[in-house]
Chain A
Amino acid sequence: MKEPGLKTRREFLRTGLLGSSLSWTVPSFLQNTMLSLHAAADGQLVQGVTGKDGNILVVLQLAGGNDGLNTVVPMGNDDYRRARPTLGIREEQVLKLGQKEKAGFHPALAALAKAYADGSLAVVQGVGYPNPNRSHFRSTEIWATATDENQSSSTGWIGRYFDNACSGCDAAVGITLGSQTPQAFAAKTPKGVLYEAGGGKRRRLGADGEPEADGSMAMAMDGEAEEGPAGGSIGDIAGPSGKINALDFLERTEMDVQITQKEIAAAAGRGKNGVPYPGSWLGNQFALISRLIAGGMKTRVYYVSQGGYDTHTGQANAQERLLREMGDAVAAFLADLKAQGNLGRVTLMTFSEFGRRVKENASGGTDHGAAAPLFLAGGGVTAGLLGQMPSLAPRDLDDGDVKFTVDFRSVYATILEKHLGVKSDPILGRAFPLLKAYG
C-alpha cells in the first residue's frame, strides 16, 4: 500500500501515476474530479496563497464554554463583585495589564500577561452573536459554520476558506492536532488531515485526577462537569442526499494516508523547538505545530482543542488549572515562533462556544452563558484591548447573560482579510465590520 517516492498530491498528480503504476483501480472520486484536480495542480498550487512562506492561522478551541469573566477580569466593577461573591477573582490577584485598562488577567495567565506586555497579544472583548444559543453543540456549530443563529450550513468557515482560496491544494493545508476533524473544516471539497503529538495526558476532565478516599470515593461527586471537547463534527453532512459519499471520502482519505502523513512526519522531524515547552498535552501539541512550521509545512490552518471548560461545579480549581495549561503552552509557542523568526506569519485565535452566566451558581460554578472575550496573538497583531467590555449591570444583561458587543464573524473577517489576505464576504456570506487588530 505504500508508494515510495511520493511527496505531495501535486507531484502525485503531475507524475501521471493515476491508472498506471497504481496497483489498484482509480478511486471513483478521482474519476469524477480528475480534470479539476489536474487544473488545480497546474494552477493554484503554485500561487502565493499556498506557498511555504504564507501566513498561518492557529485556532485554539476552549471547549465546554470558558468563563470569560474570570479569564479577562473586569476591575473596579461592583456588578462583577456582587454577581461573583465567592468565585470572583480578588482585585489584588488580578494581573494588571496597564494604566488605562479596566480589566486584567486571571492569575494563572501570567505567561499571557507577559505576551500582552511584549506587544504580541490582543484581547477582543464581548465576542458573541445575536440570540445566543446555550447548547454546547449548537453554539459550537454556529461558531464553526459562521451562520446566523437561525441558519444552518453544511460547510464550516475554514472549509469555505479552503474551497475559495486553495481548492487544489494538498489535504495538509489544514492540520488538526487531535482525533477528530472539526466542523469548521467541513467543505465542498474536504481538506484537512489529523495529526497528533504523543505524550502528556489529554485532559478531557475538569475533575481532579484522584478520586477521594472516603465514602464518596465511588461517587466521584466532586468531579467537575466535563464533557470533553464539545466539538461538532462533519458527520451530519453525510447522507443519501449529502454532499459527501462515504466511499469517496474513504478513498480520498486512503490517498492522504499514503502521501500526507509521511510528509508531516518528515516536516516534524526537520523542525526544531527553540524554547522549552510545558509537559502538558497542549504543550506538546503547540511544540509540534511549531516544529511543523519550522519544518516547512505549507499548512495554512492548524486547529487544536482543549476541553474541560464546562465548569458547572468547582470552577475555581478547574479553570485555574486549564487556564494555566493554556497560557503556558501558548506563551511558549509565541516565544518559539519569535526565535524561529516566524511570529509575524502566525495569528493564533482562541474561542469558546460561549461564556458563562454572570451570576455564579450555588455549586461553586457557573452555568452556560453568552458573549465572552477571546485572544488574538502573533507578530502582526496590535496588542491591546479591542472592542468594548459589555456592561454587567443587571438591567443590561440578556436573561442573566452578557450581551455581545462584537460579532464573532467580525473577528473571522478581520483574520481572513488582514492576515490570510482573502476577501471575507464570499466565505462569511456577507461583510462584517473589521476590527483594528492589525497595524
Chain B
Amino acid sequence: MASLPASAWDKEKAGVLLQRAGFGGTPEEVDALARMQPWQAADFLLGSPELAKADPPESITRPGLTEQQRYLRRRLTLLTPKDREEKASQLNRAVRAEQERRLTELRGWWLDRMANSATAAREKLVLFLHGHFATSEEKVRNPVLLYRQNQMFREKALGPWSELVLGIARDPAMLIYLDGAKSRPEHPNENFSRELFELFTLGEGNYTEKDIQESARAFTGWTIRMTKKPGEAMDEETTEPYFVNYPKWHDAKSKKIFGKSGGFDGEDVVRLALEQPAASRWITGKLWRFYTGSNPSPPMHRELVATWDENKGQIRPFLQAMWTHPEFYNPELARNRVKSPVEWLVGLCRQLGRALPAPALASEMTSQLGQKLFAPPNVKGWDGGITWINTASLEKRYEYGNWLVGGTVGMRRLGEMDLARLAIQSGLLEVPRPMIEGNAVDDPNVKKDFAEKRKAAARQARELLAISPAPLGPLAGPDERQDPDRLVAQLSARLLPGEPTPPELQARYRKATGEAIPLNDAAVRQTILAIVQSPVYQLG
C-alpha cells in the first residue's frame, strides 16, 4: 500500500492525524507528532499494549445491591403478596437508581480515558467498536456487563478482527441485547445471526435467509448463567451473569452455512463468515468511513482490502498503514467529516487544555447532542456524518461551546437542563423525599416546604456541576493580546487543524476581537467562541 514519504509529513498532516486517530490536542502535541516519521507517529498514538489495562470505575467493583437489599431480595418470596409487591417495587427503584449512578460514573470514566493523550487513540477505536457492535443499556440494564464489554473491546481492539467478532458473540451484554441468551434448539433466535452478517461482518446481500436460520441453530448453547460453570450453585453475591457454552442447549445436528455442511457451532459460524470475500470489504470500508468521514474510492478500497488481507485482519498494522496513506490526507476529504458529539466535547476540552465537565453533565451534554454512550439508538449504532447535525443539535453545540469557553459560574440556567435531576441521579446530591400522606399534598405548608427544597437543590446542583472558565494563559500570551491578527491566526491553527484557515474565515473571527488593545479576557473568549461557533469547527 502506498505510504506517505517522510518529506511530505508536516504539522498540518500531524494535526489531521491527531484529530482523526484520537480526539485532537494542543499545538505542542501536534508539534511532537510532526517531528516523528509518519509511521512512528501512528505507532506512537496507538501506544503500548499495556495501555489496554484499565482499573474499572469504583462502583463497578462493588456489589450492585447493598447487603440489606440482598437480604430483602432473598426474603421476598416469604412475604404476603401485598407486601411483596410493595417491597419489590421499592427494591426496583433502588436498583434503577444505582444503575443510573453506575452508568454515569462509567461514562465519565470512559470520557476521561478519551481525554488522556496516552490512551486517546485506543479509546477512539473502542468508540468505533461500541458503535459497530452497538449494545444498549436500555435493554441490557446492567452497567457491569456494559463495562466488561467495553473493556473487552479495549483489550482486543488492536489484535485480530476474528477475536473481536468471537468476543462479541460470547459477550453477555450482546447475548442479552440480541436475544442469543434465550435461543434454544427448539426455537433458535435469529436476531444475533442476522445482525452478525448484516451489520457486523458482511453487509446486506452477502448471505441468505437460510444462512441466518442455520447459523442461529449453530449459536444455540452459547448463553449466560449466574455461575461460571453449569451446575454450580448460584453465588448469593453474584448479580452478573457469565458466558457459558451449555452443550445441553446446543443443536449439534448438521447445518449448511455459506454452502458448507457440518455440525457447526458458533466458532464455526464466525470463521465461515470471515472467510467470505465480503468480510474484508465490509470492515475496511467501515473503518475508512469512521476515520475519514467519506466512502473510500474503489481503487482505495481495493488497496485497503489487500492490506487487510496481507495483515490477516490484524487491526494495528492495518490502522498504521491506513493512517500513513497519502489518500488519508487528500484535501478533498478535508472538512467533510463531522465530529461526533463525544469527539466534539472531548476534542474541544483537549484543544482548550481544560478539564471535562463533571460526568453527570458531560454525559448529559453528549446525549443532548445525539450520542448517549452505552445507549446507541439501535443495533446499527449511530449513523454519524451529517446526521449528527440538525437545527436543534447545532444550536446546542454553539450553546455548550459557550459554557466550555466562558464557564457557567453565575448562570442561573443551563439551557433546558435539569441540573438538580442530574446531580441527584449521579449521586452527587441527596434530597430527602418529602413525606406526604393522603391529602397533605394540597397543604400550603407542605407545598411551600417542597418548593423551597427544590430551589435549594437546584442551587446546590448548579454549584456542584458548574463548569469553570477555560484557562486562557496557554491560549493567548501577551504578544497575541497586542495583535488581534496574530491571535486569530494562532487560535485558528489550534482549533482548526489541517489546511490553513482561509482568509475570509479569519476575517469573520477577527470581528470578534474588537479593537481595544491589549485584548482583555472577554475579547479573547469572544474570539475562541467565534471559531467554536462556526460550521467549520464541527468538522475535522
Q: Which of B142, B293, B295 contacts A246, CB < 8 Å?
A: B293
Residues of A within 8 A of B386 (CB): 234-235, 238, 244, 246, 249-250
Residues 164-192 (chain A) with a chain B CB within 8 angstroms: 171, 179-181
> Which A residue sits closest to B90, measured CB to CB?
A213
Are A240 and B295 within 8 A (Cβ)?
yes
Contact check, A223 vs B181: say whether CB atoms are below 8 A apart. Answer: no
Q: Is the CB of B385 within 8 A of A238?
A: yes
Complex Cα spacing A4 to B300, Å: 48
Closest chain B CB from A309 CB (angstroms): 12
Q: Is the Cβ of B96 less than 8 Å from the Cβ of A247?
A: no
Can you list 30 residue pairs at the A/B interface with Cβ under 8 Å?
A137-B199, A137-B380, A180-B370, A180-B377, A194-B391, A204-B377, A205-B138, A205-B139, A207-B138, A211-B95, A213-B92, A215-B234, A217-B73, A218-B241, A219-B181, A221-B176, A221-B181, A236-B385, A238-B386, A240-B297, A240-B336, A241-B297, A247-B536, A247-B539, A257-B391, A257-B394, A257-B395, A261-B392, A363-B182, A399-B209
Prevailing SS type, chain A contact patch: loop
Q: Are B73 and A246 touching (Cβ within 8 A)?
A: no
Instruction: Name A233's contact: one of B198, B226, B387 (CB within 8 Å).
Output: B387
Question: B117-148 vs A: 1/0 string, CB under 8 Å?
Answer: 00000000000000000001011111011000
What's the Cα separation between A306 and B395 when bound, in Å? 25
Bound CA–CA A358/B384 (angstroms): 35
- Could you give, for residues 491-516 of chain B, a 1 whenever the CB lies within 8 Å of some chain A CB and a 0 otherwise? 00000000000001101100100000
* Chain B residues within 8 Å of A245, by CB: 336
> Interface size for chain A: under 10, 10 to 19, 20 to 34, or 35 or more residues?
35 or more
Q: Which residues of B contact A221 (CB under 8 A)?
A: 176, 181-182
B43 in the interface (beta carbon within 8 A):
no
Interface set, chain A 237-280, CB cutoff 8 A to B: 238-242, 244-247, 249-251, 253-254, 256-257, 260-261
A228 within 8 A of B: yes
- In the bound complex, residues from chain A placing their C-beta under 8 Å from that of B140 are 220
In angstroms, Cα B64 to Cα A137, docked, is 36
Decide if A214 touches B336 in the complex (CB within 8 Å): no
| Pick from A217, A234, A256, A361: contact of B187, CB under 8 Å | A361
CA distance A1 to B384 in the complex (A): 26
Contacts of B520 in A (CB 8 A): none
A239 engages B390 (CB within 8 Å): no
Chain B interfacial residues counted at CB < 8 A = 80
Q: Are B511 and A23 in contact (CB under 8 A)?
A: yes
**Complex: A246 Cα to B536 Cα, angstroms:** 9
A271-306 residues with Cβ-Cβ distance < 8 A to B are none
The complex places the Cα of A250 from the Cα of B295 at a distance, in Å, of 19
Q: How far is the CA of A349 from the CA of B202 in the complex (A)?
A: 34
Distance in angstroms from A369 CB to nearest chain B CB is 12
Known: A193-B391, A261-B391. 15 other contacts (CB 8 A): A1-B398, A25-B507, A179-B370, A180-B390, A195-B392, A211-B95, A211-B96, A220-B141, A233-B387, A236-B383, A240-B332, A241-B295, A246-B335, A250-B538, A257-B391
The complex places the Cα of A99 from the Cα of B199 at a distance, in Å, of: 47
The answer to whether B142 touches A219 (Cβ under 8 A) is yes
Could you tell me the distance between the alpha carbons of A135 and B178 in the complex, rounded to whole angstroms? 14
Candidate in B190, B226, B386, B395 with the most chain A CB atoms within 10 angstroms: B386
Report chain B residues within 8 Å CB of A204: 138, 377
Q: How far is the CA of A217 from the CA of B383 in the complex (A)?
A: 31
B interface vs A, CB < 8 Å? Answer: 64, 73, 76, 87-89, 91-92, 95-96, 136, 138-142, 144-145, 176, 178-179, 181-182, 184, 186-187, 189-191, 194, 198-199, 204, 209, 224, 226, 234, 239-241, 293-295, 297, 332-333, 335-338, 370, 377-380, 383-387, 389-395, 398, 416, 504-505, 507-508, 511, 533-536, 538-539
Q: Does A91 contact B (CB under 8 A)?
A: no
- Rounded to whole Å, the gap between the CB of A83 and the closest CB of chain B is 15
A181 touching B387 in the complex, CB below 8 Å, given contacts A137-B380, A205-B138, A240-B332: yes
User: Are A312 and B191 closer than 8 Å at their CB atoms?
Assistant: yes
Asked whether any CB of chain B lies closer than 8 Å to the CB of A198, the reply is yes
- Contact among B184, B395, B504 with A25 in the assembled complex (CB-CB below 8 Å): B504
- Tell yes or no: A367 within 8 A of B by CB: yes
Contacting A253 at CB < 8 Å: which of B92, B199, B378, B389?
B389
CB nearest to B64 among chain A residues: A218
Interface centre among A225, A241, A251 (most CB of B within 10 A): A225
A162 vs B509: C-alpha distance when bound (angstroms): 35
Q: Is A229 an interface residue (CB 8 A)?
A: yes
B390→A181 contact, CB < 8 A: yes
CB-nearest residue of chain A relative to B99?
Answer: A211
Q: Which residue of chain B is the closest to A190 with respect to CB atoms? A: B386
Question: Which 8 A-B residue pairings sit nearest by Cβ, starting from the closest?
Answer: A362-B187, A250-B535, A233-B383, A227-B378, A235-B385, A220-B141, A235-B383, A213-B88
In the complex formed, the residue of A with least CB distance to B330 is A240
C-alpha spacing A244/B508, complex, angstroms: 24
Q: Interface code A46-67, partner B: CB below 8 Å = 1, 0 otherwise? A: 0000000000000000000000
Q: Are A238 and B198 in contact, with the CB atoms below 8 A?
A: no
Interface string of A102-133 (1 = CB under 8 A from B): 00000000000000000000000000000000
The one of A179, A213, A249 in contact with B392, judged by C-beta atoms closer than 8 angstroms, is A179
B92 interface neighbour in A137, A211, A235, Cβ under 8 Å: A211
Docked complex Cα distance between A186 and B144 (Å):
39
Q: Which residue of B lies closest to A133 (CB)?
A: B204
- Residue of A181, A196, A213 ringed by the most chain B CB atoms within 10 A: A213
Chain A residues within 8 Å of B337, by CB: 246
Q: Given A193-B391, A213-B92 in contact, is the A247-B294 Cβ separation under 8 Å?
A: no
Most buried by B among A223, A233, A240, A249: A240
**Chain B residues with Cβ under 8 A from A386's Cβ?**
none
Task: Point out the residue from B144, B338, B384, B390 that lies within 8 Å of A194, measured CB to CB.
Answer: B390
